[in-house]
Structure 1
Amino acid sequence: MARTKTQPVESTELPVLDGEMLTANQNAMATLQASHSDERDMVNQLLGQAQMAGAFEEFSRTVRTSKLAYVKENKLYRALAGRKNPNGSVFSGTWEEFCQVLGMSSDKADLDIANLRAFGEEALDSMSRMGIGYRELRQYRRLPENEQAALIEVAKAGDKEAFLDLAEEIISKNAKEKEALTQRLDDVNADYEAQGEVMANKTKELDTAKQELEKNRKRIQTATPDDVIKDLRGEVVGIQFEVEAKILGELRDGFSQMAVHGAENGQDHRGYQADLIRQLEVTLATVRSEFNLPEHAEGSAPAWMTADEA
């Protein structure tokens, strides 16, 4: 009987991993598991403390807030997702739900975190022991950085009286500065309003002038030569009346006062007055000469007083 040749059997065993590779993978897995375990432990710890007859509220403000800040910054509240709350519904893993489970609103938690970041654990814990409330802390957060830093240093010292004196002084100073700035702003606004009124009046006057100019332009385009000269004569007569009124009114009144003064003080002002009249005569003569105007016959009425001109 012929002997068959034995075929080599292939091995089905898995290859052995290199020792260093196995150790590295094991370390990475252990680190990942430890990280997730720490996060779960933190969340479970907070949730458990919240369920222990208000034990969570018994923490100092800074310890409680620092834990909340850590949960929010690392988004550990997502660990709630999939869990059932007491009413049977399922959590979706939000920050608001996490705060609700702890028996506080997310707004209050966010406010505590903002105070912690602004003042630090030591100063905030000291201010908490002093009885500083949320209203005061909100005021302190709004202060300039240098003044806020001064308050923090005094708070760390734990001297309540010194802290309150400094806080009152800083807030009073800022209130006065704010009042002064508000007054300046009101003054600036008042100036702008006054300027606005002036500009509005100027704009109105300009619009009126433009309308009058447009009316005159159209009137000139359609007016006859007789109508145009009649209008021009009317304007010139108006100017002449205005000048004459000034002379017979204000100038004459000034001369009368000078005459009284001269009589009371023994002075003669007639030479000075005569020079003024002479200047007016020279001015009128210059206009007459420029336009080559004739002299009126003595006793005749001025042309503008004739019946036709009237």
Structure 2
Amino acid sequence: MARTKLEVTPEIELPALDGEALAANQNLMATVLSAHSDERDLVNQLLGQAQMADSFAQFSKTVFTSKLAFVKENKLYQGLNGKKTEDGLQCKGTWEEFCNLLGWAPQHANEAIANLRQFGEQALDSMSRMGIGYREMRQYRRLPEDQQAALIEIAKSGDKDAFIDLAEEIIAKHAREKEALTLRLDEVNADYDAQGEVMAAKAIELDKTKIELEKVRGHIQKLTPNEVTEMIRQEAGRQAFAVESSILGELREALTELSKHAEETGEDQRTFQAGLLQNLELTLAAVRSEFYLTDALVSTPIWLNTAEA
């Protein structure tokens, strides 16, 4: 079979493929070289060069990866669909099949393409010569853009020690930032869970209140107008008693303590005390005005009335 003569790049060496991978490449080359459509030209060139050299030893790995990327992006591997290898196997024209026939695992090829796109040819070549593996490169790809850019610049210089020092520093910093973010996220989730529990409790109380209101509404509908009036008066009386008790209890006690303190320090607190009471009087006057109420005709508090009690 005639070999296709295409220009190769001999200045960068790569490890040669083993015999099985080389045989697979040659089988694929024979299949591809039998195709003549324009869409298969790059595939023909790629594998033709490999056949001509009998190995990938004379290829730049970065150049080879860039060709792989072009084949994948343009789906040129589909041009192999229906073709048969020398072993009689019929190609399906898939990316995975194409990678396998080249002796590459699809995942390995995808990683190489991702590294090329992320770091560029020069930095990728330099990192490869430094012995930086796929696991480290995968970790570098997760870094923020500014940190990636710093690594790329150091990689281009070819200074391995400087690159490793910077990489370790960035990775450690990234780990600390990630840990802080994780801790913050945990705190937010804890707050969210606590709020969820409070909201759930409030929802339960609200449901209970609605049920009680429905019971009361049903009860009221069965009462006569006079009975409803009496029930509302009783509730108003309870509220008035609660307010009066608070004034005579907690407020009076607070005013008493303030007066004792004034006697000890010699400060006059009567203006402040009068202001508190005046606010209450104004509030009561506003309520009286709102409902157009005159002075009560009885001197006994409504909640002390025997009938109301």
Decide whether the 8 Å contact of 1:99 with 1:106 is kept in 2: yes
Q: Which has the larger radius of gyration?
A: 1
Paired AA for residue 167 in structure 2: A
Mean Cα deviation higher: 137-146 or 266-275: 266-275
TM-score (norm 1): 0.63
CA distance in 2, matches of 1:152, 1:159: 11
- The structure-2 alpha-carbon separation of the partners of 1:174 and 1:233, relative to structure 1 and needing over 3 Å to count, comes to same
| Alignment-derived partner of residue 140 in structure 2 | 140
Decide whether the 8 Å contact of 1:46 with 1:56 is kept in 2: yes
| Alignment-derived partner of residue 158 in structure 2 | 158
How many correspondences in the alignment?
Answer: 269
- The structure-2 alpha-carbon separation of the partners of 1:277 and 1:59, relative to structure 1 and needing over 3 Å to count, comes to closer
CA distance in 2, matches of 1:65, 1:271: 88
Which residues of structure 1 form unaligned runs of 5+?
Answer: 1-31
Paired AA for residue 228 in structure 2: V
CA distance in 1, matches of 2:280, 2:90: 104
Mean Cα deviation higher: 34-43 or 228-237: 34-43
Greater relative contact order structure (CA < 8 Å, 6+ sep): 2
5 Å-filtered alignment, 1:122-201, equals 122-186=122-186, 188-190=188-190, 192-193=192-193, 196-197=196-197, 199-200=199-200
Paired AA for residue 161 in structure 1: D
| Alignment-derived partner of residue 84 in structure 1 | 85
- Identity across the alignment (%): 53
CA distance in 2, matches of 1:154, 1:37: 37
CA distance in 2, matches of 1:205, 1:211: 10
CA distance in 2, matches of 1:36, 1:267: 101
CA distance in 1, matches of 2:96, 2:203: 58
5 Å-filtered alignment, 1:149-298, equals 149-186=149-186, 188-190=188-190, 192-193=192-193, 196-197=196-197, 199-200=199-200, 203-258=203-258, 260-261=260-261, 264=264, 290-295=294-299
Paired AA for residue 138 in structure 1: R
3-state secondary structure, aligned to 2:104: coil
- The structure-2 alpha-carbon separation of the partners of 1:254 and 1:98, relative to structure 1 and needing over 3 Å to count, comes to closer
How far is 1:159 from its partner? 0.2
Paired AA for residue 130 in structure 1: M
1:43 aligned onto 2:44: no
Which residues of structure 2 form unaligned runs of 5+?
Answer: 1-35
How far is 1:108 from its partner? 0.8
- The structure-2 alpha-carbon separation of the partners of 1:217 and 1:138, relative to structure 1 and needing over 3 Å to count, comes to same
CA distance in 2, matches of 1:244, 1:236: 12
5 Å-filtered alignment, 1:8-23, equals none
How far is 1:128 from its partner? 1.0
CA distance in 1, matches of 2:122, 2:130: 13
CA distance in 1, matches of 2:86, 2:97: 10
Decide whether the 8 Å contact of 1:43 with 1:77 is kept in 2: no
TM-score (norm 2): 0.63
CA distance in 1, matches of 2:187, 2:274: 52
Paired AA for residue 242 in structure 2: E
Mean Cα deviation higher: 232-241 or 63-72: 63-72
- The structure-2 alpha-carbon separation of the partners of 1:128 and 1:279, relative to structure 1 and needing over 3 Å to count, comes to closer
